[in-house]
Amino acid sequence: MATILVADDDQFIRELITLYLKKEGYTVLEANDGEEASSILSQQTIHLCLIDVMMPNKNGWELCREIRDLYDLPILMVTAKGESEDKIKGFQQGTDDYISKPFDPHELIMRVKALLRRYKINTNEKVTIANVVIDAKSVEVTIDQEPIAFPLKEFQLLHKLASHPGQVFSREQLIEEIWGSDFDGFDRTVDSHIKKIRKKLSQQTAFDIVTIRGLGYRLEVSKDA
């Protein structure tokens, strides 16, 4: 199960969240301020952070920016600041989701599960197609053994399509798989990410990501591969 870091200077809130997370089988680490959270992140493998905004030493927005710069993991802000402008600021700093105090612990658990599902990659699967290796364990793509930088969502899209060559995936399926069922953006988000993937792969690969009009996308492998 995932290891979750709960950063909040309110001991009661930390203990409440920890209680419910442990009931679900998660390992939970606690920090009572932003600096302690930074220290834990540098020493432990963390799969998700729950962050309060108003903390001493380093507030939640500062911690959120730091996490986005150094790590690739989901962030859920749990805070008393529920005004729209505070939520907007949280998303601008890089949080993935936002829940306001007082909160329903069951709703919080559902949000945690959705975020972990959204970020999940099968860490045992490596896909190799001719000169391209898509390694889920290292979250790395190499072409002729040269690494190509892929942000997480682009990597997940490519990994999904490459794991099922010839299979057509609709935009809705890909959004559900990669972004999660609670995604409230546009389905053209998939198109934008596919365009970026194609540009990075260029003509160096033995496969193409093909648009199937009215249906979605599929990865087609060259007969010579």
pLDDT, position 18: 96
Q: Could you tell me the two tokens for 225?
A: 């591969």
> How many other C-beta atoms lie within 10 A of the C-beta of residue 111?
20
CB 10 within 8 A of CB 52: yes
Query: Rounded CA gap, 32 and 28, in Å?
Result: 13
Q: Per-residue DSSP letters for 58-71?
A: S-HHHHHHHHHHH-
Query: Rounded CA gap, 189 and 175, in Å?
Result: 9
Tens place of pLDDT for every residue, the chain, 225 residues? 689 999 999 999 999 999 999 999 999 999 999 999 999 999 988 889 999 988 999 998 899 989 888 887 899 998 876 666 777 777 777 888 888 888 999 999 999 988 887 776 544 478 899 889 998 877 889 999 999 888 888 998 999 999 888 899 998 888 877 877 656 666 688 899 999 999 888 767 889 999 998 889 999 988 665
> Could you give the maximum distance between any two Cα atoms of the chain, in Å?
62
* Antiparallel, parallel or unpaired: β 140-143 and 132-135: antiparallel
pTM over 0.95: no
Number of helices (H), then strands (E), in the chain: 8, 11
pLDDT, position 79: 80
Domains in the chain, start-ordered, CATH in brackets? 3-119 (3.40.50.2300), 126-221 (1.10.10.10)
Q: Please, what is the Cα angle at 65 between 64 and 66, to 5 degrees?
A: 90
Helix axes 84-93, 60-70, angle to 10 degrees: 30
pLDDT, position 186: 62
pLDDT, position 84: 65
